[in-house]
Structure 1
Amino acid sequence: MIERMTLGLLGLDRGRKRLVQVIADIAIMMVSFAAAMVLRLESFAPLADPSIWLALAVTLPISLYTFIRLGFYRAVIRYISLRAAQTVAIGVLFSAVALFLVSQLLNLPVPRSVPVIYALLATCLLGGIRMVMRRVFGRTGRDQHKVIIYGAGASGRQLQRSLDEGEEYTPVAFVDDAPELQGADISGLRVHSPDHIEALLTLYRADVILLAMPSASRSQRQAIMTRVEKLPVRVQTIPGVADLVSGRARVSELRDVAIEDLLGRDPVPPEPELMAANIRGKVVMVTGAGGSIGSELCRQIIDHEPQTLILWELSELALYSLDMELREQLELRGSNIRLVPLIGSVQNPGRVEAAMQRFGVQTVYHAAAYKHVPMVEHNVVEGLRNNVFGTKTLVDQAIAAGVEAFILISTDKAVRPTNVMGASKRLAELVCQAAAARNTGTVFSMVRFGNVLGSSGSVIPRFRAQVEAGGPVTVTHPEITRYFMTIPEAAQLVIQAGAMAKGGDVFVLDMGEPIRIADLAERIVRLCGLEPYHTGPDGVALQGETGDVAITYTGLRPGEKLYEELLIGEASQPTHHPRILTATEQSLGPDALETLLDNLLSACKVQDVARLRKLIAAAPTGYRPDSAIADLLWEESGRQAELRLEVGE
């Protein structure tokens, strides 16, 4: 019945809704006046005197005119804000003054204290009724999610107000770690201890937890997520404080909690002199500029005012996107940094030479590489050409152009590699080490680190897509582990490590503790409010396991290791930066390296993958393949040879 009446009111046109409000306000003011007289005189008898009502009859038109002028009836009740209380108070104040003046001028039997009592009652009733109707109208006809807001600070309160005006979420409670807030009521909602979250979910049947702590550190968010990620609810968050302050986002813009926000550590503040040493006022070149690390290097480089930034990239689309992004940033800042977007391959010595010589490159960050283990296993020759001979081309041209600093972006997969990609990056390190030994004036260094969160081809985007498709989430092995670091932190440390180089340095970034990929998959499923369960390769659930999204183990891929390492030798030395170490690794002299590269090149020219693997294993790379050759051209050649034998050719 009430629901039907409410929907009927919502169906009226704007004019009729305003008429209903005016009639309701007249009734409220009449009741408030009558109640004020009774409370003051402690009797209903005076209400029978017509002269008493004459005072109100004159006051009502004045009051309604005041309300109209204040915009009382322009507000849509279901979206009315708490600021309306101020308008109600001003309107009622004018009404009470009018009542007092009319009573005194007409010499009516209205006690002088009645307008005061009337003002108090009318304010409570007019404002209270509107807040109640706001709740009723605001919820009617909606299938809303009941949510618990984690964080009762300014952002949490602002989020509650935004949700109250929206149509998707209904806030039912606050949760906050601060003991001084627990037990308090904020805008009608009680603040509870985090220990009570599970009970609150049952009590209110909430299905979403919203994190309203944009300024919380990564470690604080990690602790919060440890509490809530195993609960049967979806967890979402508001944008970070930087986006809120800059105006790029609003509190009401909710998003799923990114696993990247939880795995990374709180960053160590960068050292400004290290960040600027190889950049400020210089001509800087970033190869692979459109990739995950390369693009972030470019974003951080322009923060330190290079004279020119050369964006070297083979992918036209990636280069176009990055160039547009950086130009927009520079325009907003009013910066005059010169951007030079160059399409090119690191295997093209003529173009590399032209770029370095004509622009007078002083610093090179070499991030261009084929990095996906399975793809390089299937395309061994091109992987080696790009990662090894592309690096050799850059190194030779950097020396010829008088480049001051050359920083190679390496990988933890270069340590005792079982795959060609890792071996190719170790060979690239050997190229840089041999160049450093020649004392040419160019300072060569290598920075080695593990996986970055959210990069192209990373497991995290793939896991997310698999969850959105309903599963299964595929993991190669239950015990496989990887190091992870956020892209901004990795780029920041690369720049600082390069500034500390003396020549031939192998820097190793402190990646923290390795993470089981199976645990990572489970967390991503739970962040979506779902429960994971495990199956074998056949898709059959393991004994006793049930849930919403399957995690299926598919077996290690060719060249894939269960765990990665960061050091070939046993020892590393600290630097003055707490997250940058330096290692002493075996190297090859320039002559021995040239011999090795010549042999590799000759094998590449004839696509002899078996010989390539033998040459790499014999070099000081630590390469020990643990699977058969997976190169697609090599496999096709073998298949065709078998066919020829079968037909007797």
Structure 2
Amino acid sequence: MPLRKESLLLLLVDMALVLLAWWAAFWLRFNLDIPPEFEALAVQTTGWVLPCYALGLLISRVYRHVWSYIGLPELRQLGAGVLLGGLILAAVLLMLRFPNFPRSVLVLHPLLVLVFLGAARAGWRTFSERTTPSAGERPLLIVGTLQDAADALRTLKGSGNWRAAGIVSPVLAEQGRSLQGVEVLGSVNNLADIAEEVGVHTALMAIAPGAPGRRDVLLRSAEAGLSLMTLPRADEWLRQEGPSPRKVELEDLLGRDPVQLDVKGLSELLSGQTVLVTGAGGSIGSELCRQIARFGVSRLVCVDVSEYAIYQLEQELRAAHPQMQGIYYTANVRESARLEAIAQANKPSVVFHAAAYKHVPLMEELNEIEALRTNVLGTLHAARVAGQCRAKRFVMISTDKAVNPTNVMGATKRMAELVVQGVAAEFTATEYVSVRFGNVLGSSGSVVPLFTAQIARGGPVTVTHPDIVRYFMTIPEAAQLVLQAGLMGRSGQIFVLDMGEPVKIVELARMLIRLSGKTEQDIPIAFTGLRPGEKLYEELLANDETTAPTPHPKLRVAITSGQQVVVAAEVLQWIETVGPAPDRALLRDWLRHQVPEYTFQA
């Protein structure tokens, strides 16, 4: 590849420095007084010095570097090029057998070349940093250890929008030290005072996700009234044009590690295949579609009862994956004939069933029959359709509320799990699995959008009980683990996702209030009492269940000791018989007969 004009100019500068180093090596060898015969020898060998070092530096691709952003990796590459050039020159001169050539020059010269060339690059970077206009750069404090701050400083230099005014370290021994000219101003305990002293209103959280104490540091930073930023995640580096800090989100406070996917296995399962997703317009369903599209499916069939949701999904996927054939249906999973027609027209090899009613209070009163029809009948229809079109896999998304359920929604989802296991025995050519997990941050109907809206209105933030706890994970994490479980599962299995540690809802409310820059004095928290069918805590396993590990650290398989059998024909007949408005007690008694672990207050 020919050198660009800029690279050719840099090569000429380097060759001038290499030549200067050659004479400097002779001067040092002879104590700054070169004898005439050796001066002639230096002149005689100069013609070999430049091509040998030029060859070494070009082979090492040194001239791809941008001097304004030179760092240790570039200096190491420069060192390799200088070493290679020195070895080539030494080999040439030794083969030519110049008489009385001082071999110590061959050792001194590469060292001097490295010093001269490195100094030139370091000097240029220093000059460019001092002369680059800083207009528009906003000051911030970096919160983290010196190691964390080193990574943050590299990101800030690439962003062009922020300037580090100081470092606040949780390590007491690091106070008073400095890094790249940025001083450690104090500890996290004094963050508010430090920010006021230096006139900064923004803090960059540099502590890595999952690191001990990160959540406490984030909350303390929020309490200081600072606007919180954090470094972009790996997937965000790929999506954005340049590295730049972003605002701290609730996901950052949870500190969950990224999901490790079996990319090869999922590619083999999905690439070039037709995949059908029910409930495709919902929070989990739409994220599943995004994740599935990444694996190069030839056709993605999206089914949702909401016209607006499916329209939004269509617009997004057409723009993001124009090469993918997307097919978008408005259809209800409760209508078996419609679902069967869609499946027979597209012949999916994998079916993900995300369509469900999930809002506990709404399904607990007035809408119980709707939960039964959608969550149970809809699952039965989707599972049977997958078997009839001989799909390889069927994956149903379940919930932690299906474990020892105390509400209609949870009981119907537990029935849906049993239905899937029953259909699995009917269609042995298809692998049927269910995936059980807890609350998903930001999903429709979850507490996070509710709390965010309440904070925006000035409060109060309503929490049902001070001791209520829930498991949480992010939407992308849930969707990725559903895909992974679908790949690994054997027919009839129920997978349980590692939800991490449960979070108190009141703590979640406090985190959101602090992230908004407010305090609990500004936005009060009000306790309203448990709603019908609501538990203080959710479980991921029933009393008679244990789990078995899988090759994936965030997935386990539920093992049930005594399995209830749901007869599909009886379910269909009963729902048809009771009509559109069954008696409340009658419906619950029937549910308890189907799901013995279901308990409710009459």
Q: Same fold (TM over 0.5)?
A: yes
The answer to whether 1:494 aligns with 2:482 is yes
Confirm whether residue 203 of structure 1 aligns to residue 197 of structure 2.
yes
What amino acid is aligned across from residue 301 of structure 2 in structure 1? Answer: I
- What is the distance in 2 between the residues matched to 1:468 and 1:249? 31
Q: Is the 8 A contact 2:170 2:188 kept in 1?
A: no
Call closer, same or farther: CA 1:494–1:357 in 2, change over 3 Å. same
C-alpha change, 1:264 and 1:597, in structure 2 (3 Å) is farther
Pick the aligned partner of 1:387 from 363, 375, 387: 375
2:318 corresponds to which of 314, 327, 338: 327
What pairs with 1:273-352 in structure 2 (closer than 5 Å)? 273-331=264-322, 336-352=323-339
The whole-number CA distance in structure 2 between the counterparts of 1:363 and 1:218 is: 34
- Report if aligned partners of 1:431, 1:593 keep a CA contact under 8 Å in 2: yes
- Distance (whole Å) between structure 2 residues aligned to residue 235 and residue 224 of structure 1: 16
Residue 263 (str. 1) matches residue 254 (str. 2): yes
2:451 maps to what in 1?
463
Specify the alignment match of 1:553 in structure 2: 527
Residues 220-260 of structure 1: per-residue CA shift (max 9 Å, x gap): 3x7334124133223421561446644626556643x1111
Taking structure 1 as reference, are residues 179 and 275 closer, same or farther at Cα in structure 2, changes over 3 Å only? Answer: farther
C-alpha deviation, 1:621, in angstroms: 4.6
| Partner amino acid, structure 1, of 2:584 | V
- Report if aligned partners of 2:204, 2:245 keep a CA contact under 8 Å in 1: no
From 187, 190, 202, give the equivalent of 2:183. 190
- Residues 251, 500 of structure 1: alpha-carbon distance in 2 compared, 3 angstrom cutoff: closer
Take 2:381 and 2:328, find their aligned partners in 1: how far apart are those partners?
A: 19
2:574 and 2:297 map into 1 onto residues whose CA distance is 40
CA distance in 2, matches of 1:210, 1:197: 15
Q: Pick one of 216, 229, 232 that aligns with 1:240.
A: 232
Distance 1:248 1:271, change over 3 A: same
Matched residue type, 1:357: Q
Deviations 1:152-193 (A, max 9, x none): 436446648978x78xxx864233568998645578752335
Aligned partner of residue 149 in structure 1, secondary structure: strand
Give, in whole Å, the separation in 1 of the partners of 2:559 and 2:215: 39
CA contact (8 A) 1:505 1:582 kept: yes
| Residue 450 (1) aligns with residue 420 (2) | no
In 2: Cα distance, 1:308 partner to 1:232 partner: 50
Give the corresponding residue for 2:345. Answer: 358
In structure 2, what residue type is equivalent to 1:575? T
Unaligned stretches of 5+ in structure 1? 1-82, 84-126, 533-546, 629-649
Aligned length: 468
Verify: 1:620 aligned to 2:595, yes or no. yes
- The answer to which of 597-606 and 182-191 deviates more is 182-191
Q: Output the CA distance in 2 between the equivalents of 1:178 and 1:337.
A: 51
2:548 to 570, 573, 581: 573
Task: Tell me if structure 2 keeps the 8 A contact 1:360–1:401.
Answer: yes
Deviation (angstroms), 1:551:
0.9
Checking the alignment, whether the CA contact within 8 Å between 1:238 and 1:252 is kept in structure 2 is no
User: Per-residue displacement from partner, 1:570-592 (whole Å, max 9, x unpaired)?
Assistant: 311112222211123344446x4
The one-letter code of the counterpart of 2:141 is I
RMSD: 3.3
Out of 509-518 and 233-242, give the one that drifted further. 233-242
Q: Distance in 1 between matches of 2:243 and 2:565?
A: 58
Alpha-carbon distance in 2 for matches of 1:507, 1:463: 30
Task: Give the structure 1 partner of residue 112 of structure 2.
Answer: none
Output aligned runs, 1:350-429, within 5 Å.
350-378=337-365, 379-429=367-417
How many angstroms apart in 2 are the aligned matches of 1:243 and 1:430? 37
Offset at residue 517 of structure 1 (A): 0.7
Seen in structure 2, the aligned counterparts of structure 1 residues 238 and 578 have a Cα distance that, compared at 3 Å, is closer
CA deviations on 1:322-373 (whole Å, 9 max, x unpaired) are 2222222223xxxx43211111110122221111111111111000111111
Aligned equivalent of 1:563: 537
Deviations 1:431-465 (A, max 9, x none): 11111122442221111111111111211122122
Give the 3 Å change call, closer, same or farther, for CA 285–264 of structure 1 in structure 2.
farther
Letter in 2 for 1:619: Q
For the Cα contact (< 8 Å) 1:427–1:621, is it kept in 2? no
Deviations 1:200-235 (A, max 9, x none): 135346443233x4xx64213x73341241332234
Q: What's 2:493 paired with?
A: 505
Q: Which runs of structure 2 are paired with 1:148-227 in the superposition (5 Å)?
A: 148-150=141-143, 152-153=149-150, 155-156=152-153, 159=156, 172-176=165-169, 183=176, 189-195=182-188, 197-198=190-191, 199-201=193-195, 203-204=197-198, 206-211=200-205, 213=206, 217-220=208-211, 223-227=213-217
Q: Is the Cα contact below 8 Å between 1:417 and 1:621 reproduced in 2? A: no
5+ residue gaps, structure 2:
1-67, 69-126
SS in 2 for 1:218: coil
Q: 1:8-19 counterparts in 2 under 5 A?
A: none
> Separation in 2 of the partners of 1:607 and 1:353?
28
Deviation at 1:390, TM superposition (A): 1.0
Question: 380-389 or 592-601, which moves further after superposition?
Answer: 592-601
Task: Report if aligned partners of 2:387, 2:427 keep a CA contact under 8 Å in 1.
Answer: no
Q: Is the 8 A contact 1:426 1:621 kept in 2?
A: no
Distance in 1, matches of 2:587 and 2:581, equals 10
* Partner-residue secondary structure (3-state), 2:458: coil
Task: Give 3-state SS (helix, strand or coil) of 2:545's partner.
Answer: coil
Identity %: 41
The structure with the largest alpha-carbon Rg is 1
Q: Is the 8 A contact 1:406 1:445 kept in 2?
A: yes
Deviation at 1:500, TM superposition (A): 2.1
Question: How does the TM-score come out when normalised to structure 1?
Answer: 0.65
Q: TM-score, normalised by structure 2?
A: 0.70
- Name the SS for the 2:204 alignment partner: strand
